[in-house]
């Protein structure tokens, strides 16, 4: 076996192959684009299997659309309620609850496939009302991306493709995929410069489309409240009068308008959302009863919509009666939790001053006292309440808008950010090596060669070497947003903007590794990675860069 890895800088192309039977000095230069020898996967298909794979993708796409339409029609009453937009304010919720607006919202796309046309017929105003301003920005970004891809596709098909086909480096087989690539051009062909020129053109087009998109995005004012300070590090037994008295005594020129202590309202918010969901469900089924005169029967058990027959313990209930009962229970539980929430302080407070200059003055005073190395520069202005309130432990910042605050965290609230990161590092460092601890250290030298041979044998399987990497890529592409989202939630950021910024950083680092770092090391194939990592016995297994 001759594992070879070429990096042609003159052509700006990269080729890796693992040739099992053809020697290195073979004159046949089309083997890189034909199916692997010894493989039974996609054997005999033309044009590198691209038309076959495209046909399979389109077929599965229509199958998924059909399944989604069937599920959506079958479980309409369960899924349609979840599509009702959240009531951001009391006035908006009252408007959605009226008989004039609810039918229009609920009957908009009730047909079998009407949701497809409804997605294109909806105006930006309707999308903004249902999903908010972020959805408008995202859809505008997607429109610009689609226009950019259309322009790039037209230029590539009309200019780049004929240029590649004009070369004669590969054979003239019309079903050879290699003839459509840059490899078909000779090294000294001046048409190679066309690829460089069009790469620059594509970059300019991308920048132009993105600049046009950014002009459509209207930025609001900075999402901080200048007259209000957000204070952490307070003792949990602190009182509003004590905090206000400290600022009045320490800063006589600053007038405090209001002090709001923070409490653990995670359960309260959870109950509030469940109550709103029950009220919207009740509104929906009451509308069906008023318009059609029918009482809908539902199965409220988990996955009850999949039950085709009634059995003991899974009986159907009247939807209006069920959601009325659920709403009343949640309202009672919400009232009890609302009375007990003051027993769970978080040691944080929002302090509002009369003018912005007062808040800025106090913030500068606290920032000037931040510790450098071990010693601190100084202490903020003291008062008779300083020792009781532990003022030296305070962290003071401008307060974000209430909508930007994450109030649903119950864990990690009293742990510093650095402490949480060290906790996660220790957890993963102790959990990930655990499978290796099950085998005694003395057994590893004798076990590793057998494991290496098994990996090499598995890598020779065409199903593993061709389909498993694609399946792995799809799996990671689907799991990546979920992993990033929940890992960011575990970090317990105070604001939603901080959560989104951390998510962006994580995805950006992942893309840097996937697009730049790993391809530059040649680690673009799972088969190549396994051989590079485990195949130490063969003298031909060395990777060669040319």
pLDDT tens for residues 88-98? 444 333 433 33
Which of residues 406 and 4 earns the better pLDDT score?
406
Per-residue pLDDT, 205: 95
- Region 477-497: mean pLDDT is 79
Residues 6+ apart with CB under 8 A from 545: 5, 7, 522
Q: How is residue 324 written in tokens?
A: 């009325």
pLDDT band at 124 (very low <50, low <70, confident <90, very high): confident
Q: How far apart are CA 118 and CA 8, in angstroms?
A: 50
Indicate whether 320 pLDDT > 80: yes
Q: Are 381 and 365 in contact (CB under 8 A)?
A: yes
pLDDT band at 76 (very low <50, low <70, confident <90, very high): low
Q: Are 376 and 370 in contact (CB under 8 A)?
A: yes
Percent of the chain with pLDDT over 70: 62
Per-residue pLDDT, 221: 59
pLDDT band at 266 (very low <50, low <70, confident <90, very high): confident
- Region 414-424: mean pLDDT is 46
Which of residues 375 and 363 earns the better pLDDT score?
363
Pairing assessment for the beta strands 317-318 and 345-353 based on DSSP bridges: unpaired
Per-residue pLDDT, 19: 39
Query: What residue ranges define each of the domains in the chain, with the CATH number in brackets?
Result: 2-44+141-216 (no CATH), 224-264+344-404 (3.30.70.330), 417-538 (no CATH)
Report in angstroms the alpha-carbon separations of 104 from 97, 122, 131: 12, 13, 16
Q: How far apart are CA 232 and CA 414, in angstroms?
A: 10
- Region 249-256: mean pLDDT is 91
For tokens 């044998």, what's the residue? 457
pLDDT band at 531 (very low <50, low <70, confident <90, very high): low
3-state secondary structure of 536: coil
pTM: 0.55
Q: How far apart are CA 159 and CA 156, in angstroms?
A: 6
pLDDT tens for residues 388-399? 998 888 888 888
Count Cβ atoms below 10 Å from residue 57 Cβ, excluding itself.
9
Per-residue pLDDT, 332: 93
pLDDT tens for residues 96-106? 333 334 444 44
Rg of the chain over CA atoms, in angstroms? 32
Per-residue pLDDT, 437: 34
């Amino acid at each position: 076996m001759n594992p070879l890895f070429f990096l042609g800088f003159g052509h700006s192309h990269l080729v890796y192959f693992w040739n099992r039977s053809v020697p290195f000095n073979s004159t046949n230069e089309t083997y890189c684009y034909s199916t692997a020898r010894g493989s039974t996967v996609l054997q005999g298909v033309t044009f590198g299997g691209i038309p076959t794979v495209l046909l399979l993708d389109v077929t599965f796409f229509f199958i998924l659309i059909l399944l989604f339409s069937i599920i959506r029609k079958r479980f309409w009453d369960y899924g349609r309620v979840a599509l009702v937009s959240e009531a951001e304010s009391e006035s908006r919720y009252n408007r959605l609850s009226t008989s004039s607006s609810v039918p229009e919202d609920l009957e908009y796309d009730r047909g079998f496939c009407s949701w497809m046309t409804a997605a294109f017929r909806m105006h930006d105003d309707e999308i903004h009302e249902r999903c908010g301003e972020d959805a408008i920005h995202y859809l505008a970004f997607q429109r610009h991306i689609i226009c950019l891809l259309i322009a790039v596709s037209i230029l590539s098909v009309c200019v780049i493709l004929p240029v590649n086909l004009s070369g004669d480096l590969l054979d003239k087989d019309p079903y050879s995929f290699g003839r459509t690539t840059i490899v078909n051009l000779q090294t000294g062909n001046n048409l190679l410069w066309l690829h460089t020129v069009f790469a620059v053109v594509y970059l300019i087009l991308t920048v132009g489309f993105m600049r046009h998109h950014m002009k459509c995005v209207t930025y609001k004012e900075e999402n901080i409240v200048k007259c209000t300070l957000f204070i952490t590090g307070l003792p949990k037994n602190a009182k509003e009068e004590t905090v206000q008295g400290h600022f009045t005594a320490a800063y006589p020129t600053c007038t405090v308008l209001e002090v709001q202590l923070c409490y653990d309202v995670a359960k309260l918010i959870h109950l509030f959302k469940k109550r709103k969901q029950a009220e919207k469900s009740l509104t929906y089924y009451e509308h069906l009863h008023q318009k059609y005169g029918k009482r809908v029967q539902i199965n409220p058990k988990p996955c009850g919509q999949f039950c085709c027959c009634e059995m003991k313990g899974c009986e159907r209930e009247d939807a209006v009666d069920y959601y009325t009962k659920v709403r009343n229970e949640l309202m009672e539980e919400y009232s009890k939790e609302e009375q007990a929430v003051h027993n769970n302080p978080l040691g944080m407070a929002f302090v509002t001053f009369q003018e912005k200059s007062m808040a800025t003055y106090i913030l500068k005073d606290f920032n000037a006292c931040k510790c450098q190395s071990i010693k601190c520069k100084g202490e903020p202005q003291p008062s008779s309440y300083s020792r009781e309130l532990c003022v030296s432990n305070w962290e003071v910042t401008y307060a974000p808008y209430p909508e930007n605050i994450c109030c649903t965290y119950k864990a990690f609230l009293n742990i510093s950010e650095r402490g949480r990161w060290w906790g996660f590092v220790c957890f993963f460092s102790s959990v990930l090596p655990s499978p290796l601890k099950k085998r005694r250290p003395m057994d590893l030298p004798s076990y590793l060669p057998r494991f290496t041979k098994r990996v090499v044998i598995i890598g020779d399987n065409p199903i593993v070497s061709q389909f498993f990497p694609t399946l792995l890529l799809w799996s990671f592409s689907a799991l990546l947003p979920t992993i990033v989202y929940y890992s960011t939630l575990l970090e317990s950021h105070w604001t939603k903007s901080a959560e989104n910024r951390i998510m962006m950083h994580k995805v950006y680092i992942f893309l840097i590794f996937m697009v730049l770092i790993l391809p530059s090391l040649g680690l673009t194939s799972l088969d190549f990675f396994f051989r590079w990592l485990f195949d130490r016995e063969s003298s031909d297994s060395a990777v060669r860069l040319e």
